[in-house]
C-alpha cells in the first residue's frame, strides 16, 4: 500500500542548535533507499506502509537510543494504487499555476 508521510523528528533538551541531531535522523532516512525529500521543517518519505514506518521508527530511535527526549510529528497519505506522489502532487499544482 503506497504511503507518503511528512515527518519531523526533533530532540528536546539538547540546546539551541538542533541541526546535528536532525542530520542523524535524516541520514537514516536517506540511507533507506526510499524516495524522500527534506525541507526546512519536514522530511517526506514515500513507499510501502511497513517500509516507511520502519524508517520513521529507525530515524526516531537513532536519537531516543542516545537517551534524548524525541518528538515526532507525522502526517500520512495512504493512497492505494498510486506511486510517485512525492513529486506528482507538486507537479500538478505547478501545472495549474502555469496556466
Q: Distance (Å, rounded) from C-alpha 43 to C-alpha 45?
A: 7
- Give residue 87's pLDDT: 93
* Per-residue model confidence as pLDDT tens digits over 15-63: 889 999 999 999 999 999 999 999 999 999 999 999 999 999 999 999 9
pLDDT at 66: 96
Question: What's the pLDDT score for residue 90?
Answer: 92
Is 50:68 a contact under the CB 8 Å cutoff? no
Distance, CA of 3 to CA of 46 (rounded, Å) = 6
Just give the CATH number of 2-97.
Answer: 3.30.70.930
The per-residue b/e assignment along 53-83, b for 16 or more CB within 10 angstroms, e otherwise, is: bebbeebbebbeeeeeebeeeeeeeeeeeee
CA distance 97 to 64: 42
Asked whether residue 99 carries a pLDDT value surpassing 80, the answer given is no
DSSP 14: S
Provide the whole-model pTM.
Answer: 0.91
Amino acid at each position: 500500500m503506497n504511503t507518503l508521510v511528512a515527518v519531523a523528528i526533533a530532540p528536546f533538551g539538547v540546546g539551541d542548535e538542533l541541526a546535528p541531531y536532525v542530520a542523524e535522523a535524516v541520514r537514516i532516512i536517506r540511507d533507506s533507499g526510499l524516495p524522500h525529500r527534506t525541507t526546512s521543517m519536514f522530511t517526506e518519505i514515500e513507499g510501502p506502509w511497513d517500509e516507511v514506518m520502519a524508517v520513521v521508527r529507525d530515524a526516531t530511535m537513532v536519537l531516543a537510543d542516545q537517551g534524548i527526549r524525541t518528538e515526532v510529528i507525522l502526517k500520512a497519505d495512504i493512497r492505494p494504487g498510486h506511486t510517485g506522489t512525492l513529486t506528482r502532487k507538486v507537479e500538478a499544482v505547478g501545472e495549474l499555476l502555469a496556466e
